A and B are shown apart, each in its own frame.
Chain A
């Protein structure tokens, strides 16, 4: 269980985390979502007592991190897979961490075998691939058999097999009743891994709800409706849009001339068009993706936004 109350972190003028309150419960995988630079890592560092909050509190099992009697036996964390001295072997790296928690030497061999690094245990970790480094970081997090696990962007740069492995691992840990808190900037990844979502943008809480709720709320279907082209078609389209709105649908015009209609079933759209003698060239069902829903949610809070490249546009116009 992780509980944050009014957590705030300011670096000079800039507010990285702004009055954030949330609870991460045991038995679930809780996804911590937000665009790059939204304050996810800063929040995780505050949970782990690495950064001191400007105001507010955060506790793990009711205690501030530095008051835990033996931190690695309660919380295991993977912050950065590269945060390892490259000259040290995987075995020595884990041994020095095991000793910090007063764990026996054999525990190192156990976690090495859990993550599948037994073969390379005595090689310099500097030569490890990203995936092996990620596994070493996870082995370190598992050392103390902790009730709470935190992973910061664990699937970044992993191959599909590695992603699948981490996903299974996190689900398994949660099924054992542990608290699993995992940050990501990929909605699609969290949709299949997390039971619960905490979404932040510019350090503020945007949403705190179950993944199922998020999907139900945001993946509503819509229909694309297309009428004939030309002046006549435009008139027909406007007529149809008015009728659909009157019938209770939400209608927006797509850039390519189609209408995007939500809130009305497809047969009803067809009936209404028939009644108005509007000939339809297209009537197709669609689902908006979770990624789209997530981007809409966080759109106003994206730290670094791209703008169209003007010379590229000119080139495109010349080509056209």
Chain B
């Protein structure tokens, strides 16, 4: 090595090391500074609350043999589609615009970055999803309480907290699929297929296949939260299955992001 006679850089003050909380702050700024976040979450509220409350109003005075919780199911099933779209976009919008290269140049710890994205999105979806299911159930209570059969507190907790948890988990599943596929339209298509196809395919399958597909289909998982599901696992059991599946896809997403060229 030759002696370097070029001007040397002045001594810099000690800089803080990159930490997970830096990435969390950054991801929070990202998710709240694009309009797609607002639109997808507004759509989730509109579908869950709008369809739920419309059902409650329709059954006013003629509710018999069931609980008012049932009315929330339709809105809940379609309301998860915008949540899934937002989960996908949290990652794929960075690939679509090339922003991912800027992000990973500023923060090369890829595992931490994905963890920050997952945490920020999961928390946001859990809080707002629970608020949406909670308001919907509250609406049913106000309109239809005392008519038909009132749900137990356990059923209400499952519909509200279980519903919020389900939305956050299915969104996190979508975020992982987005990380694996890196393409918005592709990942959203895959997620729509996963949400809808198992239930539809089950209708054309022999009995043993039919039961498995039907039980573990996201539509049956959703129905179980509202006291309508098939199978022996029940709402909380099926949420556990969804959590395990989400963990597996998220693990695959971590591995892919660490190994791939950007």
Contact = CB atoms under 8 A, between A and B. Distances in A.
Interface string B222-235: 00000000000000
B8 A177 contact: yes
Contacts of B185: none
Contact of B18 (A71, A75, A177): A71
A51 B262 contact: yes
Contact of A83 (B9, B101, B107): B101
A79 B29 contact: no
B106 A100 contact: yes
A77 interface: yes
A45 B9 CA distance: 24
Contacts of A80: 98, 101
Given A26-B9, A84-B99, A177-B8, A50 B22 contact: no
Contacts of B256: none
A72 B106 CA distance: 5
A97 to B, nearest CB: 5
Contacts of B18: 69-71, 100-102
A95 B6 CA distance: 34
A97 B102 contact: yes
B238 interface: no
Given A51-B261, A99-B25, A71 B34 contact: no
Nearest to A28: B6
Contact of A69 (B17, B104, B105): B17
A138 to B, nearest CB: 12
B206 interface: no
Interface residues of B, number: 39
A194 interface: no
A208 to B, nearest CB: 15
A86 interface: yes
Contact of A65 (B4, B15, B33, B108): B108
Nearest to B16: A102
A178 B9 CA distance: 7
A101 B26 CA distance: 9
A245 interface: no
Interface in A50-104: 50-52, 65-66, 68-73, 75, 77, 79-80, 82-89, 92, 95-97, 99-102
Interface in B1-40: 4, 6-10, 12, 15-19, 22-23, 25-27, 29-30, 33-36
Contacts of B107: 71-72, 100-101
Given A85-B94, A100-B26, A50 B7 contact: no
A27 B101 contact: no
A27 B5 CA distance: 10
B33 A88 contact: yes
Contacts of B97: 82-86
A66 B17 CA distance: 12
A102 B52 CA distance: 44
B6 to A, nearest CB: 4
A77 B108 CA distance: 13
28 contacts: A26-B6, A26-B8, A26-B9, A45-B101, A48-B105, A49-B104, A50-B105, A50-B262, A51-B262, A68-B108, A70-B17, A72-B105, A72-B106, A79-B102, A82-B98, A83-B102, A84-B98, A84-B102, A86-B97, A88-B30, A96-B33, A97-B26, A97-B103, A100-B22, A100-B107, A102-B22, A177-B6, A177-B7
Nearest 8 A-B pairs (CB), nearest first? A83-B98, A92-B33, A27-B6, A99-B26, A66-B108, A177-B7, A96-B29, A99-B25
Interface of A: 25-28, 45, 48-52, 65-66, 68-73, 75, 77, 79-80, 82-89, 92, 95-97, 99-102, 140, 147, 177-178
